[in-house]
Chain A
């Protein structure tokens, strides 16, 4: 159990590359914190610095109020779960889990009871005498977790622990990791590139981009109030829709037509001294099939008509895809996100719009549909800086 504080922690490689730049993060005792970002954003480097596997170039790392910059990993009392699990292949599951205790010179009886206890929690009791090579991916993952929990460390560090599992198992393990963390109430730092894991697991999420902390906050807060375009585009699946727009007298003109901003949005935008040219962001669930709504409900938004390109029925909802004519929203941050998700190659003309409609929607593929969206939920971003102009934090 411990509080971990990163105070302007920076990692600069000898070749001058900056991996992490002045990260300031306070991790409370027992908190489950997620470091998330696209590959190369410095999240693993940050984790390795907390672990002690990489030196800290400048800044200070404190665990329980004590500076640990110069401490070797073994003296930090932190356990780590690796992406590859890093199980010792020549040892049985029991020996793997007992290894940290043996190194700590714990007596045999205690080792046995602690390993048995951990095995019970992780449902590994019947596999204790097997070698890692004879285990399935999920079992190996659990052994790696077991090795981390046996010695009650001050904190757990997890480096994409679920990314080698298949999709179904990943969802199961995600729940068990979450349960385990609640049960043990040990401070946990979890690295992932998967925004779903970030949203579902953490008490708080740290979004990183190019070594810079973009935003820290609870998953819901990040979702509702992204600090900039990058966070807005990274958090949420399907991603937020971005459209270039022009702001004039409280009216926003986009490829979807012109709408009057709500007072709340307009005030925020004015306070932030919004430029004329903006990028408007609307989450898919803030759209609705206009036919399903009465006139009074429609008052707070705008209705547009467009042809449905693709309609995906998920049972509970329907996802309708439209093409918005005109310019695509462009910014460096959006380009980076697109490159990370590999969507630069789709080659669609115009902007793709994803909307989540109620299952009762009568929209038909290839036919025009009337779609309403909530003007109060529109977020405005500065195209040059990426800053959220309607940030209500």
Chain B
């Protein structure tokens, strides 16, 4: 077998090296954080990669404080609600964009792209003022609304790409079989678009879950503060001690829902679900 650029083993070795380098680059900070979370307070600055003495004290500490648990509930609630609304709205909008020719379609797509490009930081001050006037400041809707705004363009773009992949003829066939447009969408198009919907849901959820800017600017109390913002308010055992252990432990904990979310939906993102629909 002819392989461009040397023998197969040499090629394999080079690629293995590159792969390891990439994975190490990405994972070492994460592993370092994990290592810190398992270290005792005294060992935080010992510069060892592996903790000399393993402890769960940091985890116990964050879960005993109301501050972190409350923030976790806020994070999960806000991210899930925002994801749900953004995906439902995004699905409808993307379907219309992919399938219909309506006046102002280009403008709609353009505006949604504009929103995605708009620097969020420039909106923080006006949003802060507006939300205080409207009484939305430091509430769940006060975070859910901006999250939906910024997640929607993302959702519309990913979903319309998926809808475009679904053969138009399937819908025509459903119509001929006696389906109303709503039935055709629900029974034929939606099941086929499911992988796309789940992919979009993951992306939107991660966006909401990771947000720090809005979370720190539009909240003031535990009523709506999410984990990324709450981390900044962690305090050490004394004022001379940095809460490195607790922050690391909290950082590890908030990574877990993301991993769970991705693994859960990954099984549903089955490639080639539409194969066999047309031709062959």
Q: Which residues of A contact B (CB under 8 A)?
A: 51-53, 72-74, 78-80, 82, 84-90, 99-100, 103-104, 131-137, 140, 147, 151, 157, 164
Chain B contacts for A133, CB-based, 8 A: 272, 275-276
Per-position 1/0 for B85-118, Cβ under 8 A of A: 0000000000000000000000000000000000
Most buried by A among B175, B180, B192, B277: B277
On whether A140 and B276 interact (CB within 8 A), knowing A80-B173, A82-B173, A86-B169, the answer reads yes
Q: Which residue of B lies closest to A77 (CB)?
A: B178
On whether A164 and B178 interact (CB within 8 A), knowing A82-B169, A90-B191, the answer reads no
Q: Which residue of B lies closest to A48 (CB)?
A: B172
What is the CB-to-nearest-CB distance from A248 to chain B, in angstroms, rounded to a whole number? 55
What is the CB-to-nearest-CB distance from A119 to chain B, in angstroms, rounded to a whole number? 17
- Residue pairs across A and B with Cβ atoms less than 8 A apart, 16 shown, are A51-B172, A53-B176, A74-B179, A79-B176, A84-B279, A85-B278, A85-B279, A87-B173, A88-B174, A88-B188, A88-B277, A103-B178, A103-B179, A103-B183, A140-B276, A164-B279
Per-position 1/0 for B251-280, Cβ under 8 A of A: 000000000000000000000111111111
If A87-B173, A89-B274 are given as contacts, then 5 extra A-B residue pairs at C-beta distance below 8 Å, sorted by A number, are: A78-B176, A86-B173, A99-B174, A103-B179, A140-B276
Q: Decide yes or no whether B42 CB sits under 8 A from chain A.
A: no
Contact of A90 among B167, B175, B183, B273 (CB under 8 A): B273
Which parts of B171-222 form the interface with A (CB within 8 Å)?
Answer: 172-180, 183, 187-188, 191-192
A85 to B279, CA, bound (A): 7
Q: Which residue of A lies closest to B188 (CB)?
A: A88
The 4 closest A-B pairs by CB, nearest first: A133-B276, A84-B278, A86-B173, A100-B177
Q: Which residue of B lies closest to A131 (CB)?
A: B276
In contact, A164 and B177 (Cβ under 8 angstroms)? no
Chain B contacts for A79, CB-based, 8 A: 176-177
Q: Decide yes or no whether B170 CB sits under 8 A from chain A.
A: yes
Contact of B192 among A72, A84, A90 (CB under 8 A): A90
In contact, A140 and B280 (Cβ under 8 angstroms)? yes
Chain B contacts for A99, CB-based, 8 A: 174, 177, 187
What is the CB-to-nearest-CB distance from A196 to chain B, in angstroms, rounded to a whole number? 21
Contact of A86 among B167, B178, B179, B280 (CB under 8 A): B167
Most buried by A among B178, B274, B279, B280: B178
Q: Which residues of B contact A (CB under 8 A)?
A: 167, 169-170, 172-180, 183, 187-188, 191-192, 272-280
Q: Which residue of B lies closest to A139 (CB)?
A: B280
Most buried by B among A53, A86, A87: A86
What is the CB-to-nearest-CB distance from A278 to chain B, in angstroms, rounded to a whole number? 45
A147 to B274, CA, bound (A): 19
In contact, A82 and B172 (Cβ under 8 angstroms)? yes
Q: Which residue of A lies closest to B179 (CB)?
A: A103
Contact of B280 among A53, A78, A136, A157 (CB under 8 A): A136
Chain A contacts for B177, CB-based, 8 A: 74, 79, 99-100, 103, 147
In contact, B178 and A84 (Cβ under 8 angstroms)? no
On whether A51 and B176 interact (CB within 8 A), knowing A88-B277, A136-B280, A164-B279, the answer reads yes
Chain A contacts for B173, CB-based, 8 A: 80, 82, 86-88, 147
Chain A contacts for B273, CB-based, 8 A: 89-90
A74 to B183, CA, bound (A): 11
What is the CB-to-nearest-CB distance from B238 to chain A, in angstroms, rounded to a whole number? 60
What is the CB-to-nearest-CB distance from B179 to chain A, in angstroms, rounded to a whole number? 5
Contact of B175 among A53, A132, A137, A140 (CB under 8 A): A53
Q: Which residue of B lies closest to A72 (CB)?
A: B175
Chain B contacts for A88, CB-based, 8 A: 170, 173-174, 188, 277
A140 to B277, CA, bound (A): 9
What is the CB-to-nearest-CB distance from A295 to chain B, in angstroms, rounded to a whole number? 58
What is the CB-to-nearest-CB distance from B103 to chain A, in angstroms, rounded to a whole number? 13
What is the CB-to-nearest-CB distance from B110 to chain A, in angstroms, rounded to a whole number? 23
What is the CB-to-nearest-CB distance from B254 to chain A, in angstroms, rounded to a whole number? 35
Q: Which residue of B lies closest to A133 (CB)?
A: B276
What is the CB-to-nearest-CB distance from B276 to chain A, in angstroms, rounded to a whole number? 3
Chain B contacts for A136, CB-based, 8 A: 280
Most buried by B among A80, A87, A90, A140: A90
Q: Which residue of A lies closest to B169 (CB)?
A: A86
A62 to B71, CA, bound (A): 66
Chain B contacts for A157, CB-based, 8 A: 176
Chain A contacts for B279, CB-based, 8 A: 84-85, 137, 164
A86 to B175, CA, bound (A): 12
In contact, A74 and B280 (Cβ under 8 angstroms)? no
In contact, A132 and B178 (Cβ under 8 angstroms)? no
In contact, A89 and B275 (Cβ under 8 angstroms)? yes
Chain B contacts for A164, CB-based, 8 A: 279-280
Contact of B178 among A51, A74, A90, A134 (CB under 8 A): A74
On whether A132 and B172 interact (CB within 8 A), knowing A86-B167, A100-B177, the answer reads no
In contact, A73 and B278 (Cβ under 8 angstroms)? no
A98 to B274, CA, bound (A): 19
Chain A contacts for B187, CB-based, 8 A: 99
Chain B contacts for A134, CB-based, 8 A: 276
Contact of A84 among B167, B176, B183, B275 (CB under 8 A): B167
Q: Which residue of B lies closest to A134 (CB)?
A: B276
In contact, A86 and B278 (Cβ under 8 angstroms)? yes
Q: Which residue of B lies closest to A75 (CB)?
A: B178
What is the CB-to-nearest-CB distance from B165 to chain A, in angstroms, rounded to a whole number? 12
Chain A contacts for B178, CB-based, 8 A: 74, 100, 103-104, 151
Q: Which residue of B lies closest to A105 (CB)?
A: B178
